[in-house]
Structures are given as C-alpha cells and as structure tokens.
Amino acid sequence: MFEKQVEQFALPLALWVLTAIIYPFVITLVGVFFPFQANGSIIENLQGQPIGSALIGQSFSTERYFQSRPSTVEYSQNPENIGNRCIWC
C-alpha cells in the first residue's frame, strides 16, 4: 500500500522537477550562448536606440516560404527614398 502512494507522488514530482526546474535552466543556458537571438534580434539605430527586430518583415527568396506584406519588406512611402532605408532613424 505504501509503495502505491510513493508511485503516485514520484511521477508527478519527477515531471515537476523536469518541467519547472531543469527545462527552464537548460533554455536559459542556451540563451547565454546565443544572446542576439535570445534577446529578440534587436536592431539599433546610430544613437544606440532599439528600432525593431531583424526577423520582422524579412524578405524571402523562394516561393515555398510565407510571403510578408509588401508594407513590411522592400516598400517605401517616399518615392525619393532608394531602397527601404529608415529615413527617421
């Protein structure tokens, strides 16, 4: 009888240790080795202020990937602006 109670508490306790302690520690440790990706791939302007992420609005070269909105990649509201440079940064 006592063995059944130990089994009933051992598995949830082991899963809790795995998911609440070990997994977050491993993911945090991976983030230490890849700081640019772990912090959101933040792009900064010349003054060092964050202006966005390198992963948002990226253009894709093949048709097998999801295509972004035209307003987020290779798009400019200013016809004199060559390319998609940030004119306010």
Per-residue model confidence as pLDDT tens digits over 31-88: 999 888 888 788 888 898 888 787 776 666 667 766 655 555 555 555 555 555 554 5
Q: Which residue has the higher pLDDT, 1 or 75?
A: 1
Confidence (pLDDT) at 1: 73
Label each residue of 23-86 as H, E or C.
HHHHHHHHHHHCHHHHCCCEEECCCCCEEEECCCCCCCCCCCCCCCCCCCCCCCCCCCCCCCCC
Dist CA 89 CA 80 (whole Å)? 16
pTM across the whole model: 0.49
